[in-house]
Amino acid sequence: MTAALPALSVRSLGPFKVSAIGLGCMNLSHAYLPRPDPADAKRLLQHALDSGVTHFDTAALYGFGANERLLGEAIMHRRSTFTLASKCVLAEIDGKRGLNGSPDAIARVLEDSLRRLQTDHIDLYYLHRLDRNVPIEESVGALVRAREAGKIGAIGLSEMSAATLRRAQAIHPIAAMQTEYSPWTRNVEVAVLDACAELGAALVAFSPLARGMLAGGVGAQGFEPGDIRADMPRFQAQNLETNRALAARFAALANGAGLNAAQLSLTWTLSRGDHVIPIPGTTSIAHLDENLATLSLSVPQDLLDAVDHLLRPDAVAGARYARAAQAQVDTELCPGEQLI
């Protein structure tokens, strides 16, 4: 008989209590290379559930529905044991990535997601991006109607500004804002982090390991075409050497305290507020276990302060996104952040 694993600590995600570290599922089907074999991806999802993860995050965009199908096949038979989050607005349109925040498009994407996920209800449903051609009030209104119909539970936003959050909140309570947050991506500290705390919304931090940079996952050669990071300024030749040197210093801080770099990055992110919930992604069961072990670690404040000193917002070379990608992102820029 296998001994029961200790329960993971929990945080509030709207009306839900979820494991303080969730699982971002994107890289099992989308954006990063190499991608795992589907059988291995299913094993990882099932292992996460067995290990106490109760927050799984996907989206219609990821693999143009493949990621939702993966979750539907792998874990939906245990539907009552976890909080399911997905997203609309960004999705496949005529075989390409498309942005459509109109109420009709939202309703259509939701129906497709429910079918792929093999469920009739998504606990937390996000507007994945702001469609600047559609008032945020109209997009949120479509989610309110879906909630009234019992198809979704809580409503979230992703990669949006504090001003947009407040406009959305005036229509319906917003349970969560999902955006990138880690020691080396600090945009939310301009306004969104505090706005979420004020309004009672969770800050769901994607890429809390800096897209692999703060987990030792980025080599000197960068990334091959087809990996989303290849087009991000921080991972390109003119900035990569500087940023890898910063990451090496960060890893030295972690190792000196008996942690790995990923654990220090997660601990720092968790320390930014009780409303912050990181959702690191991984294709490795061993790395998943190491990430979850973070919740049992005690890290001194002086180490967290050293992280702040090392990775000031102006220390990282290059913008988070190139100009074309930033056009679909509503988050605030850090002071001095330059787009190319």
For the cut 70, the answer to whether the pLDDT of residue 6 exceeds it is no
DSSP-based three-state secondary structure for 65: helix
- 335-339 long-range contacts, Cβ below 8 Å, gap at least 24? 335/190, 337/187, 337/313
Strand pairing report for 16-19 and 10-13:
antiparallel
- The whole-number pLDDT of residue 2 equals 41
Q: Quick one: fold of 10-213+263-297?
A: TIM Barrel (3.20.20)
DSSP-based three-state secondary structure for 7: coil
DSSP-based three-state secondary structure for 137: helix
Neighbours of 284 (CB within 10 A): 13
Residue range 135-156: mean pLDDT, rounded = 98
Asked if residue 304 lies in contact with residue 268, where contact means CB atoms within 8 angstroms, the answer is yes
Using alpha carbons, select from 81, 297, 60 the residue that is nearest to residue 158: 60
Residue range 236-247: mean pLDDT, rounded = 94
Residues that are catalytic = 62
Asked if residue 26 lies in contact with residue 72, where contact means CB atoms within 8 angstroms, the answer is no
- The whole-number pLDDT of residue 5 equals 54
Name the residue ranges covered by the structural domains of the chain: 10-213+263-297
Q: pTM of the prediction?
A: 0.96
- The whole-number pLDDT of residue 340 equals 66
- The whole-number pLDDT of residue 22 equals 98
Residue given tokens 């909080």 in the structure block: 83
Token readout for 279 is: 């959702």
In this structure, the dihedral spanned by the alpha carbons of residues 56, 57, 60 and 64, taken in order and rounded to 10 degrees, is -80
Cα–Cα distances in angstroms (integers) from residue 94 to residues 64, 97, 239, 328, in the given order? 11, 8, 35, 19
- The whole-number pLDDT of residue 3 equals 45
The region, left, alpha or beta by phi > 0 then psi within -120 to 50, assigned to residue 184 is alpha
pLDDT in tens, 190-229: 999 999 999 999 999 999 999 999 999 999 999 999 999 9
For the cut 60, the answer to whether the pLDDT of residue 1 exceeds it is no
- The whole-number pLDDT of residue 337 equals 81
Neighbours of 336 (CB within 10 A): 7
pLDDT in tens, 217-226: 999 999 999 9
pLDDT in tens, 95-140: 889 999 999 999 999 999 999 999 999 999 999 999 999 999 999 9
Residue given tokens 């850090």 in the structure block: 334
- The whole-number pLDDT of residue 171 equals 98
For the cut 90, the answer to whether the pLDDT of residue 60 exceeds it is yes
* Angle subtended by helix axes 285-293 and 38-50, to nearest 10: 30
CA distance 152 to 150: 6
Asked if residue 20 lies in contact with residue 292, where contact means CB atoms within 8 angstroms, the answer is no
Residue range 49-53: mean pLDDT, rounded = 98
CA distance 232 to 62: 18
Token readout for 35 is: 């991608």
DSSP 8-state symbol, 151 = S
- The whole-number pLDDT of residue 93 equals 85
In DSSP terms, 127 is beta-bridged to 88, 157
Mean of the per-residue pLDDT values for the chain? 95
Neighbours of 306 (CB within 10 A): 18
